[in-house]
């Protein structure tokens, strides 16, 4: 009899324990269900898209080096402003320009791994597009060196500033290309126009120039359409390297503006 009672007691205790566990599980399930319903009824907070915010960011050292090599060649025309040279340019000066393009191109290519971006490759298209755009324009128009140095300025200071300010000042993206920003496009046009007009104007004041010189404002009116066209060419989403796009667009547009609208 005692054994029976003991067995019954054990059975009752086990049943109670099972019932308690079942109750806990049920409560947990109800709590989870309630939380899920609450989460479903709460309106989620929509964060402001990153591309819509204006913010300043530091430039990585690798990009600082890249900007240096991209923009520093644009200073070379200022050396020509201080040296009288034949017009059309002499074979000697043509050889010097070719030599400078080759040396700078090889220097950048051999050290490109130090400034390359992720997945960019060898950088051959970027370097050759930059150098050939300038070199071919100079050789095609040897009697109008201002066109060639203006193309160099658009690449160096226009395209260079677009990337510089696009990385430093993050802000709204362009509707046609989310990888590009309004800050970069504006920097391309403003800096590119001001610097290119300075370089173009300075070259027309060469003492041996055949054509008459132009004022800075006249130069600005001639080069700005080319800079704007190059800026939009740079902003287009395409697999063609931007140095090639900018160089070709700047060369063609500058030649048109020079021959059609420059005062004689």
What pLDDT digit, counting tens, does each position of 176-195 carry? 999 999 999 999 999 999 99
Give the whole-angstrom CA distance, residue 11 versus residue 179. 71
What pLDDT was estimated at residue 145? 98
Domain ranges of the chain: 1-46, 54-261
Residue 222 near residue 250, CB atoms below 8 Å: no
Residue 258 near residue 246, CB atoms below 8 Å: no
> What tens digit of pLDDT does each residue of 19-40 get?
454 454 445 455 444 444 344 4
Burial class for 196, CB neighbours closer than 10 Å (0-12, 13-18, 19+)? buried
Give the whole-angstrom CA distance, residue 43 versus residue 27. 26
E-state strands within 11-150: 55-56
Q: Global pTM?
A: 0.81
What pLDDT was estimated at residue 218? 98
Residue ranges of the chain with per-residue pLDDT less than 50: 1-19, 21-22, 24-26, 28, 31-50
Residue 155 near residue 191, CB atoms below 8 Å: no
What pLDDT was estimated at residue 5? 38
What pLDDT was estimated at residue 176? 96
């Amino acid at each position: 009899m005692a054994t029976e009672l003991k067995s019954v007691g054990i059975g009752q205790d086990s049943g109670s324990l099972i019932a308690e566990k079942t109750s806990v599980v049920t409560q947990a399930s109800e709590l989870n269900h309630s939380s899920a319903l609450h989460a479903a009824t709460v309106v989620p907070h929509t964060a402001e898209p990153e591309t819509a915010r204006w913010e300043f960011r530091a430039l990585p050292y690798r990009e600082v080096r890249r900007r240096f090599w991209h923009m520093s060649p644009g200073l070379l025309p200022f050396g020509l402003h201080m040296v009288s040279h034949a017009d059309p340019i002499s074979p000697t000066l043509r050889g010097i320009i070719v030599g400078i393009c080759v040396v700078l191109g090889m220097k950048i290519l051999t050290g490109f791994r130090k400034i390359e971006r992720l997945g960019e490759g060898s950088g051959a298209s970027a370097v050759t597009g930059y150098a050939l755009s300038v070199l071919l324009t100079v050789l095609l128009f040897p009697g109008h060196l201002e066109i060639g140095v203006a193309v160099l300025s658009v690449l160096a200071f226009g395209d260079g500033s677009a990337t510089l300010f696009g990385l430093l000042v993050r802000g709204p993206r362009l509707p046609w290309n989310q990888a590009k920003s309004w800050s970069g496009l504006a920097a391309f046009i403003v800096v590119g126009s001001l610097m290119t007009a300075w370089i173009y104007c300075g070259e027309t004041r060469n003492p041996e120039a055949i054509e008459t010189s132009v004022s800075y404002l006249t130069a600005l009116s001639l080069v700005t359409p080319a800079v704007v066209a190059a800026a939009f060419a740079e902003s287009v989403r395409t697999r063609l390297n931007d140095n090639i796009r900018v160089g070709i667009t700047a060369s063609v547009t500058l030649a048109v503006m020079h021959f059609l609208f420059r005062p004689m």
